[in-house]
Amino acid sequence: MSRYRLLPTPAQQAVLRDHCGHARYIWNLAGEQHAHWRLGRKGVPGYLEQCRQLTQARAENPWLAAGSQTVQQQALRDFAQAMTAFFDPGHPARRPSWRKAGRDEGFRIVARGTQWDVRRVSRKAGQVWVPKAGWVRFRWSRAVPAGAKSYRVTLDRAGRWHVAFAVIPDPVPAPGNGQAVGIDRGVVVSAALSTGELLSAPVLTGRERIRLRRLQRTLARATRGSNRRGRVRHAIARLRARETDRRKDWAEKVSTDIARRFDVIRVEDLLITNMTRSARGTRGDPGRNVRAKAGLNRGILGSGWGLLVRRLKDKAPGRVEKVKPHYTSQRCSACGQVDRGSRESQAVFRCTACGFAGHADVNAAVNIAAGHAVTARGGDGITQPVNREPQLLLPSA
């Protein structure tokens, strides 16, 4: 995904806002139909049936009919695809959630050549064709990938428009050196390699963190609905967005580097979403160690681990192996003894049997590097199709 700052004129902004509103409305409508479905009832309307309903809805609602049919149909397709991913036992995704105004603003356009195109107009500016809005300028901060087939326009909470061209990164050729690397998603650092390298995803600088804390204090004191409150929220969102951008760049660079240096890349088979979900628990079964886990989860999410693994799979297709996570952090990488007591602290591993000592995350990474690929359930990341360009998939038609 290459993201660019979109610079629509005021008139174009109005069109884009309409597109966002329509896409959100359609998405939520499709979601409601699924939510009301119960076992034993007739099937949920499939994509084709929903398209028919969309035509009808457009005939009855002038405000919907005034919008772009391309945008609205794509929202339906996106929802259908999200449901398919949700029901996929191999790679389950989250249930498509309700989209909230002001928070989830965006729409997607596919079919380059017929629905859209992109062109460069100057050294620093490009233009992308958006239905009903025409050519919209964007900041040409880097070359648009030649293989881009679709794009998504988004409006973030800081009021910035972006266009992201969806492209599967080109696979990086394997070095052919027969080397395997293990990567541990660290808590102390973002990722530890079995080579001993410790990688840290960028965070806000000290000065930025101080500024963020000050803004958060101001926000707590500001009157609800006041102009000042709006300005402070805007500033906070901008700082957060800056951090996110840095993480994304980091994941791109690190994944390319690792894919270039090693033939086989081993990571733990861990569903990051499950880990982060488990902490809070439910009302009937409140999570244990909620505080400690919440801290750990913040670290995991903040480290950009999920994005890094996704990019590794894209760039080294068939070369990423998932290893069972059992005891990787308690096992001594020197003598193989498994003992909880060896994990001296978050950062230090000291074997109670042979005395080997080292960075705990690196020790785990070495165990992962020596691990065996998980073959059960087929979730080894090897058989996944390389091309994941969004496709029309019908969940219940």
Active site residues: 184, 268, 361
Residues 6+ apart with CB under 8 A from 9: none
Tokens read off for 13: 């902004």
Q: What is the dihedral of CA 294, 295, 299, 300, to 10 degrees?
A: -30
Would you count residue 323 as binding Zn ion (CB under 5 A)? Answer: no
Question: Looking at beta carbons only, is 102 or 341 nearer to Zn ion?
Answer: 341
Helix, strand, coil percentages in the chain from 3-state DSSP, rounded to 5? 40, 20, 40
User: Please, what is the minimum distance in Å from the beta carbon of residue 390 to Zn ion?
Assistant: 48
Residues in the chain: 397
Instruction: Indicate whether 356 belongs to the interface with Zn ion (CB under 5 A).
Output: yes
For Zn ion, the closer of residues 172 and 360 by Cβ is: 360
Place of tokens 């293990």: 182
Q: What is the C-alpha separation between 215 and 213, in angstroms, rounded?
A: 5
Closest approach, Cβ 367 to Zn ion, in A, equals 11
Confirm if 126 and 114 have CB atoms less than 8 A apart: no
Nearest CB to Zn ion, comparing residues 239 and 334: 334
Considering the complex, state which of residue 117 and residue 339 has its C-beta at the smaller distance from Zn ion: 339
Q: Name the residue nearer to Zn ion (CB basis): 167 or 366.
A: 366
351 is a contact residue toward Zn ion (CB under 5 A): yes
Q: How far is the CB of 340 from Zn ion (least distance, A)?
A: 13
- DSSP for residue 19: H
For residues 308 and 185, give the distance between their C-alpha atoms in angstroms, rounded to a whole number. Answer: 10
Under the binding rule (CB under 5 A), the answer on residue 364 touching Zn ion is no
Which of residues 14, 65, 111, 335 is near Zn ion by CB under 5 A? 335
- Integer angstrom CA distances of residue 260 from 174, 179, 244, 256, 386: 6, 11, 25, 6, 17
Lookup: tokens for 217: 């204090």
Nearer to Zn ion, 251 or 362 (CB): 362
Ramachandran angles phi, psi of 373, nearest 5°: -65, 140
Q: Which amino acid is at 54?
A: L
**Site size for Zn ion (CB under 5 A):** 8
Contact residue for Zn ion among 235, 264, 294, 334 (CB under 5 A) = 334
Answer yes or no whether residue 181 interacts with Zn ion by CB under 5 A: no
Stretch that binds Zn ion, among 62-70, 185-193, 211-219, 348-356 (CB under 5 A): 348-356
Choices 136-144, 205-213, 233-241, 330-338; region in contact with Zn ion by CB under 5 A: 330-338
CB 183 within 8 A of CB 190: no
Stretch that binds Zn ion, among 157-165, 307-315, 332-340, 371-379 (CB under 5 A): 332-340
Contact 333, 356 (CB under 8 A): yes
| Binder among 353, 386, 394, 397 for Zn ion (CB under 5 A) | 353
Does residue 86 interact with Zn ion by CB under 5 A? no
**Shortest distance (Å) from residue 182 CB to Zn ion:** 17
> Does residue 332 bind Zn ion (CB under 5 A)?
yes
Structure tokens at 78: 């996106």
Give the range of 161-169, 280-288, 293-301, 353-361 binding Zn ion by CB under 5 A: 353-361
Going from the C-alpha of 295 to that of each of 217, 302, 384, the distances in angstroms are 21, 10, 33
Single residue of 14, 35, 271, 354 touching Zn ion by CB under 5 A? 354
- Tokens coding 54: 């969309």
Q: Rule CB under 5 A: which residues touch Zn ion?
A: 332, 334-335, 337, 351, 353-354, 356
